[in-house]
């Protein structure tokens, strides 16, 4: 959402932005606000130890009620498929304030996969009056769900705006991570709830096999702070040769690490969209994705969460330069870095 906030600020003669953050992930939020020079008007500061979906939902619902009543906005913008976005959209609906959903229309059409994101985005779309969809496919999904065509706008995804801005303006020196520049770097991220338990253990075991079979690679894994991720990852991968377990990175550093990587393994939706803009093949550690455009365009492949399917998918890219070149040169379907300007132009005219 950061590049959209900045674009709205450029149009202060016609638009006023009131920025509200929940701080569900305090340490991740603050560095992004600093990176983009954004000062929130409201900070709900809801982060608590052992927070859960019930507490996040009720906290956001109740606290945004007060802000909406105080600020009386003409429209409330929410982004993506977080529980924050769903609850904020519901709060706005209760106040009869129109909602604009940025990154609308993503679907797997399986309410439990990903959990709870699929239902979050379904609810956000149902509650919204304006749908800013990133791709043709997401527009089609909205039409299938009964959303009126005149309320759907294809804009591209603001995540590409954020990536290109950051790569251009905030290149980070990665020398502090002690990476070997003579090795191919595989970047791994995995944090989704659906991969807790056995799936994340399978992912870790796949990494061990790949490291053992390929002496020319190194793996970098920024490990999410959730204990369901930390425990199995450190039990299986800590103190292993050529495996770097690091703390979650600030956004600019993560962008620089993506740029340096040879292959990216992830269960993150955003990374599926970002990495192709940098020419990096992405293997998705899930059995399905709400971003089928990437598969159709050839920038992404599903690798699942089975050790053998993951190792086979990675090995094919390591051993087959032609396949690697095909994925790395495919066109990114998610945008050209102009989504925020398109959305802002729409907002000025509604």
- Cα gap 21→25, rounded to integer Å: 10
Output the CA–CA distances (angstroms, integers) from residue 242 to 12, 76, 160, 285, 293, in the order listed: 50, 46, 30, 21, 33
Q: Are 160 and 334 in contact (CB under 8 A)?
A: yes
Cross-strand pairs, 153: 132
Within 8 A by CB and 6+ apart from 23, the residues are 29, 43, 44, 45, 46, 47
pLDDT computed for residue 171 by the predictor: 86
Task: Give pLDDT tens digits for 189-234.
Answer: 998 888 888 999 999 999 999 999 999 999 999 998 888 999 999 9
The pLDDT assigned to 79 comes to 97
Mean predicted confidence (pLDDT) in 281-310: 92
Residue 26: pLDDT band by 50, 70, 90 thresholds?
Answer: confident
pLDDT-based confidence at residue 143 (cuts at 50, 70, 90): very high
Closest CA to 141 of 106, 102, 101, 100: 106
Known catalytic residues?
A: 81, 103, 117, 191, 193, 224
Instruction: Tell me the percentage of the chain whose pLDDT exceeds 90.
Output: 79
List the one residue out of 119, 120, 121, 116 whose CA is nearest residue 106.
Answer: 121
**Strand ordering across the sheet containing 184-189:** 243-246, 217-222, 184-189, 263-266, 282-284, 300-302
Joined tokens for residue 40: 């929130």
pTM of the model: 0.81
The predicted structure's pLDDT at residue 344: 98
**Mean model confidence pLDDT for the chain:** 94
Neighbours of 33 (CB within 10 A): 17
Out of 95-104, 124-133, 194-203, which region has the weakest mean confidence (pLDDT)? 194-203
Provide the token pair at 161.
């705006």
Pairwise CA distance, residues 2 & 5, whole Å: 5
Q: How far apart are CA 276 and CA 306, in angstroms?
A: 24
Answer yes or no: is pLDDT of 18 > 90: yes
Burial class (CB in 10 A: 0-12, 13-18, 19+), 153: middle
Secondary structure tally for the chain: helices H, strands E: 15, 12
pLDDT tens string 41-97:
999 998 888 889 999 999 999 999 999 999 999 999 999 999 999 999 999 999 999
User: In the prediction, which pLDDT does 194 show?
Assistant: 82
Torsions phi, psi for 77 (to 5 deg): -100, 130
**Over 80: is that where the pLDDT of 25 sits?**
no
């Amino acid at each position: 959402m950061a590049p959209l906030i900045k674009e709205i600020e450029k149009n202060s003669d016609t638009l006023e932005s009131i920025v509200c953050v929940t701080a569900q992930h305090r340490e991740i939020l603050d560095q992004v606000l600093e990176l983009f020079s954004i000062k929130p008007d409201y900070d709900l500061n809801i982060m608590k130890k052992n927070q859960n979906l019930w507490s996040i939902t009720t906290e956001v619902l109740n606290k945004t009620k007060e802000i909406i009543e105080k600020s009386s906005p003409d429209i409330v913008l929410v982004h993506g498929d977080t529980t924050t976005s769903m609850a904020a959209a519901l709060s706005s609906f209760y106040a009869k304030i129109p909602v604009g959903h940025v990154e609308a229309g993503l679907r797997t059409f399986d309410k439990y996969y990903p959990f709870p994101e699929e239902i979050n985005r379904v609810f956000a779309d149902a509650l919204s009056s304006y749908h800013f969809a990133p791709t043709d496919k997401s527009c089609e999904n909205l039409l299938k769900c009964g959303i009126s065509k005149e309320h759907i706008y294809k804009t591209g995804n603001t995540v590409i705006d954020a990536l290109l801005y950051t790569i251009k303006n905030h290149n980070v020196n990665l020398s502090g991570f002690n990476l070997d520049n003579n090795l191919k770097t595989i970047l791994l991220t995995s944090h989704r709830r659906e991969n807790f338990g056995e799936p994340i253990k399978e992912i870790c075991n796949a990494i061990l096999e790949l490291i053992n079979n390929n002496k020319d690679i190194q793996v970098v894994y920024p490990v999410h702070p959730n204990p369901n991720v930390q425990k199995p990852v450190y039990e299986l991968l800590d103190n292993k040769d050529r495996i770097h377990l690091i703390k979650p990175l600030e956004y600019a550093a993560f962008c620089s690490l993506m740029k340096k990587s040879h292959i990216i393994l992830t269960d993150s939706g955003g990374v599926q969209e970002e990495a192709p803009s940098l020419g990096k093949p992405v293997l998705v550690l899930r059995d399905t994705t709400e971003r089928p455009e990437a598969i159709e365009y050839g920038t992404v492949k599903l690798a699942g969460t089975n050790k053998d399917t993951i190792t086979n998918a990675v090995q094919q890219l390591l051993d087959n330069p032609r396949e690697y070149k095909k994925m790395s040169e495919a066109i990114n379907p998610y945008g050209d870095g102009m989504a925020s300007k398109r959305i802002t132009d729409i907002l000025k005219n509604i």
